[in-house]
Amino acid sequence: MGMQHPNPDVPPMQLATSTRALADELGLTGKHVFFNNGWVEYAQRQNFLMEATLGVTMHFDSAETRFAFRTRALDYLWAALPVVTTKGDWFAELVDREGLGLTVPPEDPGALADALYRLLSDREMMEACRAKAAAVRPTLRWSVVLEPLARFCRQPRRAPDLPLATMPPEPAALPEPAAAPVPTAAPVGEPVAAPAPAVSGRLSFVELARHHYREGGLLQLTRRAISKAERLARQVALGKDRPA
């Protein structure tokens, strides 16, 4: 989208700076390599993509690459561009599976050069990738990808791997404390000891939450909260069914 992020608090990326320096050193800047010094407005990005020949995205082999979703690559499909991208994430698997372009290993300049040359020199392959991108594009619309979530929201159901039988039992209530002794009259001149504060025989909500978190972590705490909510719902339902 550009060399300079519109947020002034985001510093220039080191790799972008190194790339510009290398292009200058090789005499490529302004002749074969062109940098967008500003930032393409979101509503204008399609104007750049429609003038492009390929969509190229290169990433390192890291956890961020594996679990990130390259939304900019969706714009390549939006513009029906053949794609060259690094392996290691869901989008690269989609490119391989649907024939949308070529994938290369991370940090392999030779493989990248070969992939670019192969696509740019094979017009028939380029057109086939464009046609497949146009075919895949409708399956990634919001109305399609959100349907499973919308369907669950319309008819929510309990997760099959969280049966009630496996939920831990309720913790036993604390025993009722013995009655505090009644203080006797003290001799004149001696202070009277204050009675001990009363101790509740049941755990408070916060104490109960802390207990479940210590015993089984966030998973047990969540399960107990769900169980409690279900019991309260059953009690409310039973109360409504009773005759006035």
Task: Answer whether residue 82 is part of any domain.
Answer: yes
Based on the fold, state whether residues 112 and 74 are members of the same structural domain.
yes
What end-to-end distance do the CA atoms of the chain give, in Å? 68
Each residue's pLDDT expressed in tens, for the chain with a length of 244 residues: 888 888 888 888 888 999 999 999 999 999 999 999 888 888 998 999 999 999 999 999 899 888 988 888 899 999 999 999 999 999 999 999 999 999 999 999 999 999 999 999 999 999 999 999 999 999 999 999 999 999 999 998 887 777 655 555 555 555 555 555 554 444 444 444 444 444 444 556 677 777 777 777 777 778 878 887 887 787 777 765 554 4
Task: Beginning with the edge strand found earlier in the chain, give each strand of the sheet holding 101-104 in spatial order.
Answer: 55-57, 83-86, 101-104
The answer to whether residue 68 is domain-embedded is: yes
Same domain, 66 and 110: yes
Residue 70 covered by a domain: yes
Cα Rg of the chain, angstroms = 32
Is 133 found in the same domain as 48? Answer: yes
Domain membership of residue 227 as a residue range: 159-167+200-244
Q: Are residues 72 and 133 in the same domain?
A: yes
Structurally, how many domains does the chain consist of? Answer: 2
Domain contains 25: no
Residue 57 in any domain: the answer is yes
Are 57 and 93 in the same domain? Answer: yes
